[in-house]
Each structure stands twice: as C-alpha cells, then as structure tokens.
Amino acid sequence: MSLELYPAIDLRDGKCVRLYQGDYAQETVYGDDPVSQAKQFADAGAPWIHVVDLDAAKSGVATNLDVVAAIAQAVDVPVQTGGGVRSVEAARALFDGGVERVVIGTAALENPELVRTVATSNRVAVGLDVRGTDVAVHGWTEGSGRHIHDVAGEFAAMGVDALIVTQINVDGTMEGPDLEGLGALLGHTQIDVIASGGVGNLSHLEALTTLENAGRAPTGVIVGRAIYEGSFTVEQAIAALDGPQSPHQENQQ
C-alpha cells in the first residue's frame, strides 16, 4: 500500500495561489487557470486533486464554488475540497458540483454534529490545521487552545474517511513535513491520516513512506508549492511514494 499523492490547488480570487505559513498577506500566485492546472495533475497520474477555497476558509462564503465544480467536472479522478464548509448546505453544494470528498475544518471543532450528519451519506475528511499541537481555526487565523490528539479522538466513531493534518509552522516552507507530530498522531487514532505541509523535495516524500507508529502509517500526502516551483514533478512524486515500503505495508499486500 503506497501513499497517495494529493496535488493541491489553493484558490483565492479564482487563481491558484499558495500562502506562506497560512499568512494571507504572504501569497504567491501560480496561475489564473485552476481548471487547466487540475487537468495537468490528473493527466500526470495524480490519484486525487486537493482543492482549498481560501476565500471561503476565511469568510465562510463559497466564493469559488463554480471554479471547484468546473475542476471536478474536468478531471476523471476524485476531487477533495475544503474551505469554509460550515453547514450541511455548503457541503451539499460541493457534492452536487461533483466533489468526491468534502473537508470540514473549523466547523468540525465548533459543531461536531455537522461532521456526523454529512458523513452518514457522503465522504468526509476532517481538516486539522495545527501550530505545534494546537488546532487552529478560521483559516488558520485563530488558535483553539485544543490539543490535536484530543480533537482527533472526538471523530473516532463518526464515519470520517480521513484526518488531514496541516502543520502550519512548516506549510509553504518546503523545509520538510512534521514527522514527529504525524507519527505521534498515528498512535492516537485509527482514522486514516493524510499529511500536509512542508514537503520540499523527494526525500521528504520518501521519509513519509517509512513513517510508522503502532503499526499504522499515513495514507496520503498533500503537496503544493514544491510541484509548482519545479522541485519535482507529479510523476516523480508518485514514484517516490511507491517505495520503499515498511514491513507493515508489505505484510498488508
């Protein structure tokens, strides 16, 4: 079982952007055609496309809903989308637009029943954005004062597909993922863990393939800036994530 690559498309004002450590004032624009970018990722073999509506994450208003729907309809791989999903109606609008899995972040902490409700009929991931071990909310602009392990435990029996864990301190830095934090979380939850933040080169991806705790390993990794800036291609990333395998992964095959 290899880790799945989730190339990221972060949307702001309809453009592909990346923020540095979640700071809206430190934005890099990588393109103004996110649909074309998504098709490039899919054509290169990406098994998923990860889309974040940064405007909605901050405001709660689904500013880029039409763009997200256009992406979902343009590619033949599943699309996972988050940002500002704070109601059943907001989640339904994304599913109606063709999204395969919706990511609920801030609202998951403030209204866990929303996660339970949506997960009864659709695929849901919970987005846990952390500074250190403190889970942040409202587009990374505020801390919740809650430890990631405690928050993860709340969703154990809600039918959640995955936890998407973004370490804000390394996001956009390309200095490497938070292996220590991810490893610790693997020992505290049975929900699939998708890593996000900090990947800058192929060795970082290879390190994730050997990360394991309590017989569990991450199931996916979200990568943005490193691909956009040419550190490696989608094809190279997929090859890196296909091995080497841990003994635990080999035994599962």
Active site residues: 10, 129
| Gap between the Cα atoms of 145 and 143, Å rounded | 6
User: Are 57 and 137 spatial neighbours (Cβ–Cβ below 8 Å)?
Assistant: no
